[in-house]
A and B are shown apart, each in its own frame.
Chain A
Amino acid sequence: MGRAAPSKILLVVVAVLTICFAGPLLFVLYRNVRLGADFGEIFSSSRTWGPFGRSLLLGTSVALLSSIVGTSLAWVTIRTDVPGVRLWRLLAPLPLVFPSFVGATALISGFANGGVLEQLIDPLGIDLPELAGFWAAAMVLTLFTYPYVFLPVAARLRRMPASLEESARLLGRSPMSVFLSVVVPQLRTSITAGASLVFLYAISDFGAVQLLRYDTLTRVIYSNAFADQALVMALSLLLAVVALVVVWFEGRQLSQQLVFADSAQRVALPVRLRLSRIPVLAGLVAFFSFALVGPVVSLAYWVLRGVRADRTSGSLVISTDGLANAIGNTVFVSVVAAVLTVLVVLPFAYFSARHPGRPSRLASSVVISGFAMPGLVLAISFVFWIVNSDALFRFYQTLPLLIVAYILHFGAQAARTSEVAVGALPKGVEDAARVLGAGRTRRFFTIELPIIMPGLLAAMGLVLLSTMKELPATLFLRPNGFDTLATRIWASMDNISLAKAGFESLILLVVSAILTWVLVLRHSEAAG
């Protein structure tokens, strides 16, 4: 179908933003040129390929597992009549808020050898398997990253016409068969978008993977930070290239997106689970026992231990000085970053949806692939660009640039979800509205926004939860003395004040639940 060329304004905006988003990548390129690493030696060494292979294996596995978990959860919580459906919808995105080092430590404390669970079942004489290595890392990362799939998929499901599913059901297909043959194909773009974020997260994570003792490329990067910066930059470039390739091919899905959008705001009839209600409910309970209850029990256990020690020694282990301030700061930066990030990626979404092709695919690939940059390299790249620019240096270590860093880092999370949402706009609607004389602004507010809103809210939810736990950029760019819950938790863990870390992590969980409800879910429920 013939489409007008993109407007000049849109092109300029997208081009400028793309360059900003490419900042960390350009920094890594520049440093590679300056430091002149011996690529031949680095890439012929088993010390590169071993950890690199493990990074890829971990990333792929976690992406696959998260797709299964996230999609199933989304379908069960949006489309079925499982008991307590609103509770599950609220709980499902929350594991994303645990900083991975806290989440992993809590799970280790709960489920590893000699941990809380093993002590509880000690009388039964059962020993748990060792919580270390590939499977442990894959499992734990899945538990903390599946929301990258869950949120966009749930948003798509809210907007997907139920008519196809209902027809299939009327024709006698079982719920499982309907799910696999009718629902999943329509969700494909959302699932792969989420899965690629999970992949990028997994190959760049350092904290959780290290704690679970699986040796990946990020370990090589972090342990050589002083010893061999050329190696660090070469390996960061390798990760960036992998990320670009993965996202580029994932982006191809978008142009093949299946759009059966009937925009009628008709609530889909929930799938009656009947007898499968019990197993589905049991599955949900079991899953959340691992993903949420497990970590929460461990955190609470740390707190109780500290309180008990307080009573005996009379000293105060859990200090709450400045906690209210940190909560306020956390809420402020995460809400601002979430709203602004979604606004910033909207031009990309419109550009790809309205003008699909290599330029738009390249632009969004740059935005998204930056997510694979290891936290330390990312933070240093921001510092580098800021101190080398007179204009930016005036704002070094102030809130505005911290927020900009969040937007540039988390734009990746909002980009694809927004693209999928805009791409799902039924093409005829806009033309019809135009024919009927509706102006651009009016069309956006009355027609497009209601349809893309669930997608934008999902994108906001992802950025919100991620900003709340963000650490490397926060530590490098925050104003002196500006604490967030995440920086406090980090400091407590660093100082082996587990009771304090546990308490602060529980607060983070509660705050994130409230914010997710108030800002994201409440509106999604209303809109869908």
Chain B
Amino acid sequence: MRVRHALQSTNMKPISRTVLVGLGRVGLVAVALLVAACGSSASDEASGGSLTVYSGRGEDLIGPVLDLFEDQTGITIDVRYGNSADMALQIDTEGERSPADIYIGQSPGAVGFLDQQGLLTELPADLLSRVDAAYQATSGNWVGITGRVRVLVYNTDLVDPADLPASVLELTNPEFAGRVAVAPSNGSFQDFVTGMRGMLGDDATADWLAGMAANGAPNYPKNGPIVDAVTRGEVDMGLVNHYYLLEFLEEDPSLPAANHVFGAGDIGSMLITSAAAIVGSSDNVDEAQQLIEFLLSAEAQTLSANGEKEYPLIAEVGAPAGLAPLADLASVTVDLNELADGLTGTQQLIENSGIIE
């Protein structure tokens, strides 16, 4: 019976044939386009004076600066945008074959990892001298471009600003129990803890982390979700980089939240820098140095500061309106080379403290 039915099911043939012919056409077009794509990518390489940039800073932030550099120097830039940490791992995996000439990352942790892996080239002293020693590697292998300050974001409906502490160290007090969100797995929190180790030492850092853990600090994955939760009133406060709230407010100025900057020199208000470095395998070191020089020029620094949302790092360009002056911030280097066990040590301190829920 079944057999007969199957062989008689003539009404099926045309339909599946059309489907198949359709799929076949799609396949052919695909193959043709792929071949075309291969051809074009192979022919790109010939032109001289070009740089490949792996940028963990988004196109909205750094695209205009790179365009300006192209216009002024005639050097073409091929940019690859992605996540700062991922791209550092990508360069590490690519090793000698990395197409990247320059790495631009959002966090000292990621660029510090590349430095520790020995994948970066030393920058000339005259470039490094433009930026405060706190915001560059002691190895001279990377330099800060812009900065974001660590702050305590709080919900203005739920928190009286008068109750906010002058030091981040006070957040372990009982009155803050369960009220301060942290992102212990996120790069910028790790950078902050690395900075705290450099300034206060491992014991004090471990104590603070344990105090936060004992206070039941709610965990969030990263800065954005903390600010979102604070604006919704899900949590009262959170430790984040200052810039996220400014972005949220741009889309909804009515959000009930504000940034609290800790007292002058407090580790709670340290600067997290975005950084640029030349990749060791680069064959275009001259052009790469030109780009970094440009990134540290007054013109580019003003542009890179993301419409007055971030700190420029060279002396000629001042802090954006509405932000604490750079001199008031804790001057801390997040330099992994300064610490014998670098990020591994930081990660272990965080995990041992029990702050991760």
* A residues apposed to B, CB below 8 Å: 47, 105, 108-109, 112-115, 130, 210-211, 213, 215, 219, 222-228, 261-265, 302, 305-306, 309, 312-313, 315, 317, 332, 335-336, 339-340, 343, 376, 379-380, 383-384, 387, 393-400, 403, 426, 428-429, 432-433, 436, 445-447, 449-451, 453, 457, 472, 475-476, 479-481, 487, 491, 493-499, 523, 526-527
Report which of B6, B220, B250, B344 forms a contact with A317, defined as CB distance below 8 A: B250
Q: Which residue of chain B has the shortest Cβ distance to A479 in the bound complex?
A: B41
The smallest C-beta distance from A298 to any residue of chain B, in angstroms, reads 12
B78 and A481 form a contact (CB under 8 A): yes
B201 to nearest A CB, angstroms? 19
Name the B residues within 8 Å of A336 (CB-CB).
26-27, 30, 33-34
Give the residue of A262, A312, A399, A447 whose beta carbon is less than 8 angstroms from that of B7.
A447
Query: Given the complex, which residues of B lie within 8 Å of A433, measured CB to CB?
Result: 7
| Interface stretch of the complex, out of B89-97, B259-267, B272-280, B291-299 | B89-97
| Cα A380 to Cα B38 with chains together (Å) | 22
- The reply to whether A309 and B344 contact each other, CB–CB distance below 8 Å, is no
Name the distance in Å between A118's Cβ and chain B's nearest Cβ: 8
- Let me know if B170 is at the binding interface, CB within 8 A: no
Is A226 touching B110 in the complex (CB atoms < 8 A)?
yes
Residues on A with beta carbons closer than 8 Å to the beta carbon of B12: 265, 450, 527
Q: By the criterion CB–CB under 8 Å, are A491 and B95 in contact?
A: no
Q: Which residues of B contact A380 (CB under 8 A)?
A: 89-90, 93
Instruction: Report Cα–Cα, A394/B43, bound state, in Å.
Output: 12
Contacts of B23 in A (CB 8 A): 339
Residues 170 to 189 of chain B near chain A (Cβ within 8 Å): 184-186
**Chain A hits for B218, CB < 8 A:** 213
Chain B residues near A527: list those with CB within 8 A: 12, 15-16, 19
What are 23 sample pairs from A and B whose C-beta atoms fall under 8 A apart? Answer: A109-B228, A112-B234, A130-B234, A222-B185, A225-B89, A226-B110, A227-B343, A264-B9, A336-B26, A339-B30, A394-B42, A400-B34, A400-B37, A432-B3, A445-B13, A449-B16, A479-B37, A479-B41, A491-B59, A497-B247, A497-B251, A498-B251, A499-B251
Known A426-B2, A495-B247: A115·B7 in contact at CB below 8 Å: no
- Docked pose: A108 CA to B5 CA in angstroms: 52
CB neighbours (8 Å) of B185 from chain A are: 210, 219, 222-223
Binary per-residue interface labels of chain B (92-109) against chain A in the complex, 1 for a CB within 8 Å, 0 otherwise = 011101010000000001
Known: A108-B225, A480-B79; 13 extra A-B contacts, CB below 8 A, are A112-B234, A213-B218, A223-B190, A262-B1, A264-B5, A315-B250, A336-B34, A339-B27, A395-B41, A397-B41, A400-B37, A475-B86, A496-B224
**What residues of A have a CB within 8 angstroms of the CB of B58 in the complex?**
491, 494-495
Complex formed: what's the CA distance from A281 to B308 in Å? 53
Q: How far is the CA of A108 from the CA of B83 in the complex (A)?
A: 23
* B114: nearest chain-A partner, CB-CB: A226
Kindly state whether residue B356 has any CB partner on chain A within 8 Å.
yes
Complex Cα spacing A211 to B251, Å? 21
**A313-B61 Cα distance, complex, nearest whole Å:** 19
B residues 309-357 near A (Cβ < 8 Å) are 343-344, 346-348, 351, 356-357
Interface: B113 (CB within 8 A): yes
Complex contact B85–A263 (CB within 8 A): no
Contact between chains at A445 and B90 (CB < 8 Å): no
A494-B83 in contact (CB<8A): yes
Contacts of B225 in A (CB 8 A): 105, 108, 211
In chain B between 13 and 42, which residues have their CB closer than 8 angstroms to a CB of chain A? 13, 15-17, 19-20, 23, 26-27, 30, 33-34, 37-38, 41-42
- B221 interfacial by beta-carbon distance below 8 Å: yes
**In the assembled complex, how far is the CB of residue A514 from the closest CB belonging to chain B, in whole angstroms?**
15
Residues of A within 8 A of B186 (CB): 223
User: Are B27 and A379 neighbours in the complex by a CB distance under 8 Å?
Assistant: no
Residues from chain A with Cβ under 8 Å of B59 in the complex: 491
Asked whether B86 lies within 8 Å of A493 as measured between CB atoms, the reply is: no
**B69: CB under 8 A from chain A?**
no
A526, B97: Cβ atoms closer than 8 Å:
no
Which residues in B have their C-beta under 8 angstroms from that of A403? 30, 34
Q: Is B72 in contact with chain A by the CB < 8 A criterion?
A: no
Q: Is the CB of B9 within 8 A of A265?
A: yes
Q: Is the CB of A228 within 8 A of B90?
A: no
Q: A302 to B228, alpha carbons, bound, how many Å?
A: 12
Determine which of A113, A480, A497, A523 lies in contact with B52 in the assembled complex, contact meaning CB atoms within 8 Å: A480
Given A226-B88, A332-B33, A495-B60, is A114 in contact with B234 using a C-beta cutoff of 8 Å? Answer: yes
Contact of B16 among A109, A305, A450 (CB under 8 A): A450
Nearest A-chain residue to B352, judged by Cβ? A47
From B13, B94, B227, B344, give the contact of A383 (CB < 8 A).
B94
Complexed CA–CA distance, A480 and B45 (Å):
13
Asked whether, in the complex, the Cβ of A317 is within 8 Å of the Cβ of B30, the reply is: no
Counting CB contacts under 8 A, is B253 at the interface?
Answer: yes
Distance in Å: Cβ of A113 to nearest Cβ of chain B: 4
User: Complex Cα distance A112/B234, Å?
Assistant: 8
Q: Is the CB of A309 within 8 A of B252?
A: yes
Residues of B within 8 A of A376 (CB): 86, 89
Does B38 contact A400, Cβ atoms closer than 8 Å?
yes
- Give CA–CA (A387, B97) in the complex, Å: 7
Chain B residue nearest to A377 (CB atoms) is B89
Separation of A472 and B90 alpha carbons in the complex (Å)? 11
Contact of B244 among A261, A312, A496 (CB under 8 A): A496
Q: How many angstroms between the C-alpha atoms of A101 and B61 in the bound complex?
A: 22
Taking the nearest CB of chain A, how far is it from the CB of B44, in angstroms? 9
Question: Hey, which chain A residues are within 8 Å of B227, CB to CB?
Answer: 496
